[in-house]
Structure 1
Amino acid sequence: MFPRKQQTRLTPEQALQKIRHYCAYQERAHQETKEKLYGMGLSKKDVETLLAQLIEEDYLNESRFATQFAGGHFRLKKWGRQKIVYELKQKRVSDYNIKAALKEIPEEDYRQTLRKLAETRWKALRGEQYLVRQSKTTTYLLAKGYESALVQKAVAACRAAGKE
């Protein structure tokens, strides 16, 4: 029906300017930057050269990306460690950088956030039967990426406190 828009292939110099802006705007994973460069119609050799140059110029830094990703998703989306690890692995971040990023999340803040989420969810399910309430709160916290043992403790604390 509609003619397909012909994708213009960029020269490596043009692509470098665009990708510098792309990386300067927000921290990026190596993988998503690589995919973006391939999307610009560059050859494998050009992509590898540009990636090396971006790393050298400090536009790309995997450890900085992992730390900002983990901290941001914990603070803003209230994600647990398991979900953060999963998402970072999807972005092909190294295990070393994932571990380092998780160490940046203070343990006390982590537990306090989990407690608050559990209490809020427990209160929201006030009209539900006890077992349904417990199950839904547990499922919600596990889906957020919190560890099973910590979730059980948080739900037990809500139950014991009789949070209504």
Structure 2
Amino acid sequence: MQPPKKTYTLQEATKKLEHYCAYQERSHQEVRQKLMDMYMIPEAIDVITIHLFEHNFLNEERFAKAYVSGKFNIKKWGKSRLAYQLKQKGVSKCNINLAIDGISDKQYIDVFNSLANKKVDLIKESDKWKKKKKFVDYFIRLGWESYLVYDKANELIK
């Protein structure tokens, strides 16, 4: 026999979601999913979402900028992976572009070059074609633009 589902009043759920959003930036989709997991009815979900938005607990632009900053600086993701992941989280195209434009071109290229120089030394492969393939696959998976990746592979692996 399963234990009964925990139910929440509108006030309890609102407080819980305020803490959820205050802890770290959340997307609208994450908030809606959290409320659905709490078995809230659609009308309550709308009321709470509007409350969070009006009281600045929820802000899609701020979420997108924080997400891009974190994933770029920590995981070294490229722009295409960042855009794809934000799209999966239901962020609008406008906010995706705004967040990605926050990365300076110089910083973007510097991070890529530094990462590429480290990665090429880590690939233990004697066949230059296999080494290039491993190099290219790694950077494409991280979402770096193919023209950057292929140019760098040809420059570093001869």
Name the TM-score, length of structure 2 as normaliser.
0.96
Amino acid at match of 1:135: K
Distance, in Å, in 2 between the alignment partners of 1:19 and 1:108 is 38
Superposed displacement of residue 79, structure 1: 0.4
Distance, in Å, in 2 between the alignment partners of 1:5 and 1:154 is 57
Counterpart of 2:80 in structure 1 is: 82
- When the two chains are superposed, the root-mean-square deviation of aligned CA atoms in Å is 1.1
Distance, in Å, in 2 between the alignment partners of 1:124 and 1:79 is 18
Counterpart of 1:142 in structure 2 is: 140
Superposed displacement of residue 9, structure 1: 1.2
Amino acid at match of 2:82: I
Could you give the per-residue CA deviations for residues 24-82 of structure 1, whole angstroms, max 9, x where no partner exists? 00000000001101111111011001101100000000000000100110000000011
SS at match of 1:47: helix
Q: Output aligned runs, 1:145-156, within 5 Å.
A: 145-156=143-154
Amino acid at match of 2:134: K
Q: Output aligned runs, 1:18-97, within 5 Å.
A: 18-97=16-95
Counterpart of 2:107 in structure 1 is: 109
Is the CA contact 1:122–1:158 (under 8 Å) kept in the aligned structure 2? yes
Is the CA contact 2:128–2:157 (under 8 Å) kept in the aligned structure 1? no
Distance, in Å, in 1 between the alignment partners of 2:12 and 2:123 is 55
Distance, in Å, in 2 between the alignment partners of 1:43 and 1:119 is 52
Is the CA contact 2:119–2:135 (under 8 Å) kept in the aligned structure 1? yes
- Return 5+ residue gaps in structure 1 as ranges: none
Amino acid at match of 1:85: A
Number of residue-to-residue matches in the alignment: 158
Is the CA contact 1:117–1:141 (under 8 Å) kept in the aligned structure 2? no
Counterpart of 1:157 in structure 2 is: 155
SS at match of 1:79: coil
- Return 5+ residue gaps in structure 2 as ranges: none
Distance, in Å, in 1 between the alignment partners of 2:7 and 2:16 is 13
Amino acid at match of 1:87: Q
Distance, in Å, in 1 between the alignment partners of 2:125 and 2:149 is 21
Name the TM-score, length of structure 1 as normaliser.
0.92
Distance, in Å, in 1 between the alignment partners of 2:124 and 2:39 is 55
Stretches (4+) displaced over 6 A:
none
Distance, in Å, in 2 between the alignment partners of 1:127 and 1:75 is 28
